[in-house]
Structure 1
Amino acid sequence: MHVAGLFIYPVKSLRGCAVSSVELDALGFAGDRRFLVIGADGQMLTQRGVTRMALVGTALAGGTLTLTADGAGRVSVPTVSDPTAPLHTVAVWKHAGLQAEDCGDAAAAWLGDVLGLTCRLVRIGEKFLRPVTKKAGRPGDVFSFADGSPVLVTSEASLADLNDRIQENQGEPVPMDRFRPNLVLADCAAFAEDTFPHLRIGDVTLRAAGKSDRCIMTTTDQRTGLRGKEPLRTLATFRRDPALDPTAVWFGANFINESKSGKIHVGDRVSTA
């Protein structure tokens, strides 16, 4: 088994970046979901409600986050914390009272024009603290603006199995970016990622934190922002677990980075022992 792909999503719910290697830090994959878009009411915005977020590209280089969109040019902001920046109190699902730094009027105006709404871009800074509250979490486990855990793992075999079923159901296959994984495994059985208690990649160890419950975002084309029925329609036929939640459908697995430093490369061998 080996690493087939690595991805980071610098801004929650905006377009992600494929990378050839990734550093780990206390929050998970360095650079992953360190920024968040909030509405005029201070609530987080995601593709669940704003599908146009899929049309905004992201790039990290030289301590700078750059956002791009067709016909709108670009805007850049520093990635480093600014202790003098105004703070916003934000929530990510059940985690309320999180302190995030405002990224300035230029970024807010640019994003607002692209998305067609009033919003602000905020960043993780020195005042941000979000402990992992899943049962698998341990003291010292913290993470970013990600939904449920620091690292989401999928596999090529799981996607292939799903797409075979979608085509049998007269649907169009979906790409991996619908699931926004951080780490994609190759050379394992379909849905084996659900069963691994740990993943060990070089000197990095990831600890399992449960299967990933999938939402309507998976039905949004990450290149056009258009929404369809797949893959949720087909996942609902074979990826339910009444013991966990009879209404949920599952694809991919959540992991916590036991290692708070280290590096992973595409092609690295992966073990579970």
Structure 2
Amino acid sequence: MKISALYVYPIKGLRGIELRKAQVGPQGIKHDRRFMLYQAGQHEATAGMKAMQLASHPQCALFEQQIASSPDGPDGSAEEASVVVRYHSPKDSHHSDLNRVTPPQSPSSAEDSEATLRVPLEPDISLLEKISVDLHGSPATAYRMGGGYDAWFSSRFGFRTVLVYIGDGRRAVLGTSMLPKAANTAAAPQKGWVSSLASLVTSPRQQQPATPALWLTFTDVAPLLVTSESSLHDISARLPANQPMPMFKFRPNLVVDGEGEAAWAEDFWAELAIDVQTKDLEQQQQQQRHTLLLTSNCARCISLNVDYQTGKPAEGELGSVLKKLMKDRRVDAGTKWSPVFGRYAFVAGGEGEVLTVSVGDKVQVTRRNAERSVWDWPGL
């Protein structure tokens, strides 16, 4: 198999950004889900805030984001400086192409400037107001980006919206299903990444401080989500030939082509090895192998049915994808009402382990589970 696509979502819930190459560390792809939108109360900006995701706020699909490089960088590989957000007015569903989204565009005029918002990817948190937030029952201290950002989003959503940055905040992993299976065996090492994983996985009533090596940003329940094109083909086969299901609606981080693997084989994947081609100081080709630990299934919700052109549930067959999957993909006993597509993953390695992966890198399944894993994130 090979990596066929990579995606990053700096602001959670908005359209993803497709990459050719990505840096991946203990908290996932660099800049992934470091920001999030919350719906605030009518009068008090931070009262009764509600996390905004596609399932509850399908209008998020109308916001495109792209990473802008630093102007003083030598080329396109320059250090990222900001994420540029562009709002697209909803289109008439009768005339929209339900499988397409508007391609990224760079702001180039005063009119474009008003239609876009530039958000620094690494803001100075010393200048920002702290705020307590919660996502899926796992709380964290985050930072409000400020009134200007809130106003820009609020004017487009039509209600009070708050943009927050995770900064040095750390969300704990709840339940035990996130642990790689090796961590539960007698042969598992007692130090390193395994002990880091074990120390952070907690019950909702006994949350411990996050370890330096493992914690979550605004990613749902793990740093990475892996999906397979083999399984996507199975889903598209359930739809009209002229309306295949696009992978971006499943919001993965890493997509593999699935070559040599049957549809839904990933249900049992426990470990993937990624072979990365590198060059030494003498420019000779070398190969490095990195490991991803696949720990839990991804339970799916009504976000699959969202039309990215209208910001509403899609009409026709693409509006019933979740229902179609519920017929035979409710295969996780821990989340029996939700169909499964994709696997959550962690990077195997120490606290400072950072790898660079690219589209085209070879991927191999190096360990499989005998049985499907069982979801146990409490309340989700």
TM-score by length of 2: 0.67
Superposed CA deviations along residues 203-224 of structure 1, whole A, max 9, x for unmatched, are: 4321111111000111102233
Residue 224 of structure 2 aligns with which residue? 151
Instruction: Give the stretch that moved more between structures: 40-49 or 249-258.
Output: 40-49
Query: What SS does the corresponding residue of 1:248 show, helix, strand or coil?
Result: coil
Aligned length in residues: 269
1:86 and 2:129 matched: yes
Residue 113 of structure 1 aligns with which residue? 155
Query: What SS does the corresponding residue of 1:252 show, helix, strand or coil?
Result: strand
**Candidates 58, 63, 66, aligned match of 2:65:** 58
Distance 1:76 1:84 in 2: 17
For structure 1, the 5+ residue unaligned runs are none
Distance 2:334 2:82 in 1: 41
1:183 and 2:226 matched: no
Deviation at 1:172, TM superposition (A): 4.2
Contact 1:83 1:125 in 2 (8 A): no
Q: What is the correspondence of 1:1-273 to structure 2 with a 5 Å cutoff?
A: 1-40=1-40, 41-61=48-68, 62-70=80-88, 73-81=115-123, 82-96=125-139, 98-126=140-168, 128-133=169-174, 134-137=176-179, 138=197, 139=199, 140-167=213-240, 172-186=243-257, 187=259, 188-202=261-275, 203-228=289-314, 229-241=319-331, 243-259=333-349, 260-273=353-366
Distance 1:70 1:106 in 2: 19
Contact 1:44 1:92 in 2 (8 A): yes
Deviation above 4 Å: which 4+ runs of structure 1? none
Deviation at 1:150, TM superposition (A): 0.9
Amino acid at match of 1:55: L
Deviation at 1:198, TM superposition (A): 0.8
Superposed CA deviations along residues 156-208 of structure 1, whole A, max 9, x for unmatched, are: 1101011112349xx94321111101111111321122211111113432111
Distance 2:332 2:31 in 1: 35
Amino acid at match of 1:57: E
Distance 2:271 2:27 in 1: 18
Contact 2:225 2:254 in 1 (8 A): yes
Distance 2:17 2:66 in 1: 7
Question: Aligned pair in 2 of structure 1 residues 242, 67: CA closer, same or farther (>3 Å)?
Answer: closer
**RMSD in angstroms over aligned alpha carbons?**
1.9
For structure 2, the 5+ residue unaligned runs are 41-47, 69-79, 90-113, 180-196, 200-212, 276-288, 367-380
Percent identity over the alignment?
29
Instruction: Give the stretch that moved more between structures: 52-61 or 171-180.
Output: 171-180
Deviation at 1:42, TM superposition (A): 2.5
Question: Aligned pair in 2 of structure 1 residues 180, 242: CA closer, same or farther (>3 Å)?
Answer: closer
Distance 1:243 1:84 in 2: 46
Instruction: Give the stretch that moved more between structures: 140-149 or 262-271.
Output: 140-149
Deviation at 1:104, TM superposition (A): 1.6
Distance 1:258 1:63 in 2: 28
